[in-house]
């Protein structure tokens, strides 16, 4: 190899190593496993800077499906969890992976669908009724099918409606909320989504919001304080600060202040 | 060719050790490509190997040079195996400049780096390639490339030089240049072992002739005797210019 | 990042506006993929050459496996690296998960088979051509290795570029082991996935155009360098 090539290669390698080193150098951060719907809404972009300014701690968000978030937590790969599956969260605590679970905020789920509403759900009296009408009319329905918080909520509502969703009209996509909405828009199908993702979603095509408001559509978010015993290596002190901040006055206010198109997407409800 | 061979550039060659084939044969997939053969190549001769295509000439050369091992029997040098070099029908050169190809050969021989440039230039001068030193070796003409491989072989200071049909792809002027180079090697004390299918070339160069046919060495005789009175009918037919399989 | 409806316009505005977010993402993408290709090449070139030059038991099996691994799904590679680097896994104490280093590791795994398998093929072809002459000059297979690798350099440049193409195009591996963390492990491809999932398709496509332009630029540079070298040296 001639001298020029050696020089160039050496420079590239050194620069690459220096870059990576600089990235790892910052020690004051925690890794937060949360869900794609929360990330996609833009909430974290809004509230994390406030937290960082107050505490000097950066929050690195890994946004995955709820199932994967729990798995990351079990493996000790994240310092903190913020998800929306209360039953799952309580089980997580019961299994000893977390020492505490706190209510942080809520939003609601809505049903969106083709603007001509073939199943006629817009005047349904309850979400159970709406689901029943979709099943009866066998209108195409796109389900996330990914064991996420949203998906689990959707399946509970089918159960409440007394319907086992199956058949060609019920399409399980195994996808996150965004991709599911994309696919639903492309298929002109009904789908079950959280309001925050829907409001922030940029590709609705022919879909519009058709049903909302039922109490059963309440979607609670919880923060989990992970167990020091299970995973001693985690940054528990820093994570505890985040956990406390979320339910503090400042944190709750930051959540309430977050709006998209003038709409508030998350409603703080810590005790 | 140009500068005469100076003794300072080459270590004077000791007597070239003899090469013995002792019942050496070569079989591939059940076919006997060389029947068990016993003969000796000795002295500083120019041995030309002749015979029709498929007679086993190239195979014989490769066994002699050590590129192949015999399937049975032995190919053995008397005493320590000497330095050898081989030139092939199609010159094999690296994707580098002409002079870098020579410096590469010197590097392989562990010649100290500071000496390589001077030696390489000397070789280029000797074989009339000095003007082409920086040219990519692969853009040279066939004749120039073959002279380059000879220059490379010269740098190794071989006791034995094997050449496998080195001029079959060249024009007359290039052929003459190669033959002159071969003779120079010979005058410097190098034994020549060369295959050819060109009768006239053999007559020009041979001190002795090895005639092969069908995987067998039929004759190993001094050149004059071979061309005047070959003993085998195949050799006679070959010399008469009749195609012999 | 706001977006209009035309992806080309979006791409152009992003580039001209020198959006600092975009610059960070592009820099990280290049850093990860280039590092991965350099490391993979350093390992794979000798391995490929060795496979070409030596016969040993299991050689054919190794060649088949390497060739097959050229098609290793990135998401599978990512998953395996995740399981290794996870705290619950064997190398967890290294703390590499969700960092660019983990992304480099995963991409090295993806790129290595491509470079090794194609290097083997190139070196084997050259070896065929050169073997007798090089052995005549007194070279052992070990000493032939650097010679053949250097002689094959133009073909090998294309091989390395193929590896780079694979690295810069994949998203499955870097998504899982990097976590697509904003400002830390977000690269071009994971950004495209993110914007798509937000429904901002023009922006996603605009980013795609930028990524393609970048890769094309790098290929053009490499081609120019090799053409210049060929002219100089044949």
Residues of C in contact with A200 (CB under 8 A): 198
Residue B8 has pLDDT above 60, yes or no: no
pLDDT-based confidence at residue A13 (cuts at 50, 70, 90): low
pLDDT digits (tens, 9 = 90+) for A141-163: 999 998 888 898 899 999 999 99
pLDDT digits (tens, 9 = 90+) for B39-65: 999 889 999 999 988 889 999 999 999
- Do A88 and A70 contact (CB within 8 A), yes or no? yes
| Residue B76, SS3 per DSSP | strand
Q: Quick check: B105 and C137 CB within 8 A? A: yes
Please report, for residues A80, A206, C33, C41, the alpha-carbon distance to residue C47 in angstroms, rounded to integers and kept in the order given. Answer: 43, 55, 20, 9
Backbone angles phi and psi of C90, in degrees to 5: -65, -35
pLDDT at position A2 is 55
d(CA A79, CA A73): 8
pLDDT digits (tens, 9 = 90+) for A103-143: 999 999 999 999 999 999 999 999 999 999 999 999 999 99
> Which residues of chain A form beta strands (DSSP E)?
29-35, 58-64, 80-83, 98-114, 141-143, 170-172, 190-194, 207-211, 218-226, 259-260, 263-264, 267-268
Residue B158 has pLDDT above 80, yes or no: yes
Mutation to test the A interface, candidates C157, C199, C200, C204, most A Cβ within 10 Å = C199
pLDDT-based confidence at residue A169 (cuts at 50, 70, 90): very high
d(CA A218, CA A212): 10
DSSP A67-95: HHHHHHHHHT--SEEEES-HHHHHHHHHT
Residues of B in contact with C154 (CB under 8 A): 95
A177 against B8, higher pLDDT: A177
Chains interfacing with B (3 or more CB pairs < 8 Å):
C
Identify residues of B whose CB sits under 8 angstroms from chain C CBs.
Answer: 62, 65, 67, 84-86, 88, 92, 94-97, 104-105, 108-109, 135-139, 152, 156, 162
What does the block give as tokens for B209?
Answer: 């002739």
Q: Quick check: C198 and A40 CB within 8 A? A: yes
pLDDT digits (tens, 9 = 90+) for A220-270: 999 999 999 999 999 999 999 999 999 999 999 999 999 988 889 899 999
Apex CA A22: angle with CA A19 and CA A26, to 5°? 150
Q: Quick check: C199 and A75 CB within 8 A? A: no
Residue C224 has pLDDT above 80, yes or no: yes
Q: Which residues of C193-231 are buried (b: 16+ CB within 10 A; e: fewer)?
A: bbbbbbbbbbbbbbbbbbbeebbeebeeeeeeebeeeee
ipTM of this predicted structure: 0.88
pLDDT at position A19 is 58
Nearest to A252 by CA among A47, A15, A21: A47
H helix intervals, B127-171: 142-155
| DSSP conformation class of B8 | T
pLDDT at position B14 is 60
| Cβ-based contacts under 8 A for chains B and C | 45
The residue to which tokens 């493996």 are assigned: A75
Which residues, in sequence order, are CB contacts of A62 under 8 Å at separation 6+?
Answer: A31, A32, A33, A34, A72, A78, C98, C179, C180, C181
Q: Quick check: C233 and B84 CB within 8 A? A: no
pLDDT at position A101 is 95
Would strands B31-41 and A263-264 be described as parallel, antiparallel, or unpaired?
A: unpaired
Q: Quick check: A203 and C104 CB within 8 A? A: no
Where does residue B150 fall: left (phi above 0), alpha (psi -120 to 50 degrees), or beta otherwise? alpha
Residue B2 has pLDDT above 60, yes or no: no
Chains interfacing with A (3 or more CB pairs < 8 Å):
C
pLDDT at position A6 is 66
| Residue A42, SS3 per DSSP | coil
pLDDT-based confidence at residue A197 (cuts at 50, 70, 90): confident
What does the block give as tokens for C7?
Answer: 């992806």
Highest-confidence segment of A7-11, A82-86, B14-18, C12-16: A82-86
Residue C3 has pLDDT above 50, yes or no: no
Residues in chain B, overall count: 245
- Do B155 and B123 contact (CB within 8 A), yes or no? yes
d(CA B180, CA A157): 98
Of C134, C136, C147, which has the smallest distance from its Cβ to B85's Cβ?
C136
| DSSP conformation class of A217 | G
Identify residues of A whose CB sits under 8 angstroms from chain C CBs.
Answer: 1, 9, 12-13, 15-17, 19-20, 23-24, 31, 36, 40, 44-45, 60-64, 74-77, 176-179, 181-182, 185, 200-204, 231, 233
Q: Quick check: C200 and A202 CB within 8 A? A: yes
Judging contact as 3 or more Cβ pairs under 8 Å, the answer for A and B is: no
What percent of chain C clears pLDDT 70, i.e. is strictly above it? 97
Half-sphere exposure of B127 (CA within 13 A, CB side): 31
Residue B206 has pLDDT above 60, yes or no: yes
Residue B5 has pLDDT above 50, yes or no: no
d(CA B33, CA B50): 16
Of C38, C99, C180, which has the smallest distance from its Cβ to A23's Cβ?
C99
State which CATH number among 1.10.10.10, 3.40.50.11540, 1.10.3720.10, 3.40.50.300 fits the domain covering C7-233: 1.10.3720.10
Mean pLDDT of chain B: 89
Q: How many CB atoms lie within 10 A of CB C84?
A: 18
Domains and their CATH numbers in chain A: 28-106+218-268 (3.40.190.10), 108-217 (3.40.190.10)
Which chain A residue's Cα is nearest to C225?
A5
Q: Quick check: C184 and A60 CB within 8 A? A: yes
């Amino acid at each position: 190899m001639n001298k020029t090539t050696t020089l160039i290669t050496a420079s590239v390698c050194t620069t690459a190593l220096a870059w990576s080193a600089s990235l790892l150098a910052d020690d004051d951060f925690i890794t937060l496993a949360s869900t794609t719907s929360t990330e996609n809404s833009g909430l974290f972009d809004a509230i994390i800077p406030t937290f960082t300014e107050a505490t000097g701690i950066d929050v690195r968000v890994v946004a995955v499906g709820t199932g994967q978030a729990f798995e990351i937590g079990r493996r000790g790969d994240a310092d903190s969890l913020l998800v929306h599956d209360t039953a799952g969260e309580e089980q997580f605590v019961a299994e000893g992976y977390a020492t505490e679970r706190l209510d942080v905020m809520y939003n609601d789920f809505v049903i969106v669908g083709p603007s001509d509403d073939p199943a006629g759900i817009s005047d349904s009296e309850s979400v159970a009724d709406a689901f029943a009408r979709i099943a009866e009319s066998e209108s195409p329905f796109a389900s996330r099918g990914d064991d996420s918080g949203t998906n689990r909520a959707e399946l509970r509502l089918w159960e409440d409606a007394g319907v086992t969703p199956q058949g060609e009209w019920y399409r399980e996509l195994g996808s996150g909320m965004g991709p599911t909405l994309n696919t639903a828009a492309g298929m002109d199908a009904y789908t079950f989504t959280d309001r925050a993702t829907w409001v922030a979603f940029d590709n609705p095509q022919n879909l519009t919001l058709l049903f909302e408001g039922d109490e059963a559509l309440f979607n609670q978010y919880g923060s989990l304080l992970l167990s020091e015993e299970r995973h001693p290596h985690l940054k528990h002190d820093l994570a505890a600060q985040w956990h406390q901040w979320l339910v503090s006055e400042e944190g709750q206010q930051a959540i309430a202040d977050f709006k998209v198109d003038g709409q508030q997407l998350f409603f703080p409800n810590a005790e | 060719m140009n500068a005469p061979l100076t003794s300072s550039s080459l270590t004077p060659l000791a007597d070239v050790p003899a090469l013995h084939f002792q019942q050496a044969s070569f079989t591939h997939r059940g076919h006997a490509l060389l029947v068990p053969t016993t003969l000796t190549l000795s002295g500083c001769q120019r041995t030309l190997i002749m015979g029709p295509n498929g007679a086993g000439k190239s195979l014989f050369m490769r066994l002699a040079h050590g590129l192949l091992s015999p399937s049975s029997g032995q190919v053995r040098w008397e005493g320590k195996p000497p330095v050898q070099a081989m030139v092939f029908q199609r010159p094999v050169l690296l994707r580098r400049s002409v002079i870098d190809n020579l410096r590469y050969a010197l590097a392989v021989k562990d010649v100290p780096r500071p000496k390589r440039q001077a030696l390489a230039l000397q070789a280029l001068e000797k074989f009339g390639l000095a003007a082409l030193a920086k040219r990519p070796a692969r853009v040279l003409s066939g004749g120039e490339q073959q002279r380059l491989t000879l220059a490379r072989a010269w740098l190794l200071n071989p006791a034995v030089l094997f050449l496998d049909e080195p001029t079959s792809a060249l024009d007359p002027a290039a052929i003459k240049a190669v033959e002159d180079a071969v003779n120079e090697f010979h005058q410097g004390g190098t034994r020549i072992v060369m295959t050819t299918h060109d009768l006239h070339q053999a007559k020009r160069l041979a001190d002795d002739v090895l005639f092969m046919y069908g995987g067998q060495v039929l004759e190993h005789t001094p050149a004059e005797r071979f061309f005047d009175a070959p003993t085998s009918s195949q050799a006679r037919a070959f010399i008469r210019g009749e195609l012999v399989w | 990042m706001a977006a209009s409806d035309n992806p080309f316009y979006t791409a152009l505005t992003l580039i001209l506006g020198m959006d600092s977010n975009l610059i960070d993402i592009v820099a990280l993408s290049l850093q990860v993929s280039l590092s991965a290709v350099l490391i993979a090449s350093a390992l794979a070139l000798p391995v490929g050459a060795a496979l070409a030059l030596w016969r040993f038991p299991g050689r054919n099996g190794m060649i088949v496996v390497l060739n097959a691994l050229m098609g290793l799904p990135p998401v599978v590679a990512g998953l395996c690296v995740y399981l290794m680097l996870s705290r619950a896994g064997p190398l967890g104490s290294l703390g590499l998960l969700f960092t660019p280093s983990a992304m480099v590791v995963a991409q090295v795994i993806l790129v290595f088979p491509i470079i090794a398998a194609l290097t083997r093929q190139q070196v084997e072809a050259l070896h065929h051509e050169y073997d007798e002459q090089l052995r005549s000059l007194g070279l052992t297979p070990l000493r032939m290795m650097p010679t053949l690798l250097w002689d094959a350099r133009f073909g090998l440049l294309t091989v390395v570029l193929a590896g780079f193409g694979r690295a810069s195009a994949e998203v499955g591996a870097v998504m899982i082991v990097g976590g697509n963390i904003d400002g830390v492990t977000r690269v071009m491809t994971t950004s495209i996935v993110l914007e798509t999932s937000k429904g901002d398709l023009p922006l996603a496509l605009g980013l795609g155009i930028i990524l393609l332009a970048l890769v094309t630029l790098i290929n053009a540079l490499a081609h120019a360098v090799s053409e210049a070298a060929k002219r100089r040296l044949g």
